[in-house]
Structure 1
Amino acid sequence: MAPHLQTLTLTSSRPLQQLGGSCCPVQAQQIELEFKSVTRQEFSLRITAPNGDESDLLEFCTTSAVQKFTPANKGCGHGLWRIEVNQRLGAQTQLVHVESIPLDGVGSLGFVVGDDLLPKIESRLWLRLPSGGCCRK
């Protein structure tokens, strides 16, 4: 049975000019991605934000291991967030999945990674701030 998805999404009705005008209101630093392993397989993740900030290699060696990534550098968080999944095979690792997730807000997303090694959103605390075409990356 799939885990229960907890969702809280808010949408701002204020125009972007009121939220920051010349600067993107969705700063990558205001987005947190949390990953939890629910598999016995060893794997690692690398996340790349739209502003180019890249996570360290997040390694998962045990069931229930949890790792988080929040970009350290300022910059736009609108756009595609890239998640690379690598499987550990003995002393080597192999890229098994790449996913690009479009994000348009700020907050926290919780993912679980199961036996298929695909990150799935399990929880979300999110304020949606669409770019309205005026986001300057």
Structure 2
Amino acid sequence: MSPNVLTACYILAKPLTKKLHICHAPTSQIELIFESTSTSREFWIRVLSPTGEKSPMLYFNVSGQTHRFAPRIKACGHGNWQVVIYRRAYDQPGLHYRLTSVKTLPLNGVGVLRFKVGNDLMPKIDSRLWIEQQPPRSDNVITGSVRNSSSKKSVVQAKTSVISNGWAPLVRTLKKQNSI
């Protein structure tokens, strides 16, 4: 084929792919593995996929424990994934935990990511198989105004990590109403 024909095919296929929502990275083919290393703290990990699926709270109480999360929803896994880490709050009676860190991973492709979590409770990528990380986008801050249920106006300023954690439907609604 000539280069002109290939260029024309690419130009025509790109909008068609967007309209048909063809995804080459289904969430069911992405697996995240977490291992606790040299930590004496109790902590929990929750993974949030771009589709909105949440992992169960993965509990770590000793060093060397390993847990896996592979989403069950068969949807597009291309986008921002979040790894949220909670630590145990000993100042409250019963079993309570506090948010410690949130790591946003813009992933592309299918495969396996393995994380190690040390005493600082920050997940660090130890190894990766086939999956790649997209570069961060420059437009990761969205600012707008929202009316909450008590009719008071509040300003929402959130980074991409917060938006993909449940603000996405709200932001989409605001964009449709041209509020942002």
Using the size of structure 2 for normalisation, the TM-score is 0.58
User: What is the CA distance between 1:26 and its match in structure 2?
Assistant: 0.4
Asked if the contact 2:86/2:99 (under 8 Å) is kept, the reply is yes
CA distance in 1, matches of 2:27, 2:101: 23
Aligned to 1:121: 125
Aligned to 2:41: 41
The reply on whether 1:61 has 2:61 as its aligned counterpart is yes
Aligned to 2:79: 79
User: What is the CA distance between 1:89 and its match in structure 2?
Assistant: 2.6
Aligned to 1:27: 26
User: What is the CA distance between 1:46 and its match in structure 2?
Assistant: 0.5
Asked if the contact 2:114/2:128 (under 8 Å) is kept, the reply is yes
CA distance in 2, matches of 1:37, 1:99: 16
Instruction: Look up the SS of the partner of 1:29 in the other structure.
Output: helix
How many matched pairs?
Answer: 112
Unaligned runs of 5+ in 1: 1-14, 131-137
One-letter code aligned to 1:101: L
User: What is the CA distance between 1:52 and its match in structure 2?
Assistant: 1.2
Q: Percent identity?
A: 41
CA distance in 2, matches of 1:121, 1:127: 12
Unaligned runs of 5+ in 2: 1-9, 135-180
User: What is the CA distance between 1:99 and its match in structure 2?
Assistant: 1.2
Larger Rg: 2
The reply on whether 1:112 has 2:111 as its aligned counterpart is no
Q: Which has the higher helix share?
A: 2
The reply on whether 1:98 has 2:99 as its aligned counterpart is no
Instruction: Look up the SS of the partner of 2:82 in the other structure.
Output: strand
Instruction: Look up the SS of the partner of 1:54 in the other structure.
Output: coil
Asked if the contact 2:35/2:65 (under 8 Å) is kept, the reply is yes
Structure 1 stretches (4+) deviating beyond 3 angstroms? none
User: What is the CA distance between 1:127 and its match in structure 2?
Assistant: 4.5
CA distance in 1, matches of 2:62, 2:115: 16
User: Are residues 82 and 65 of structure 1, via their aligned partners in 2, closer, same or farther at CA, if it must alter by over 3 Å?
Assistant: same
One-letter code aligned to 2:116: V
Relative contact order: is structure 1 or structure 2 higher (C-alpha 8 Å, sep ≥ 6)? 1
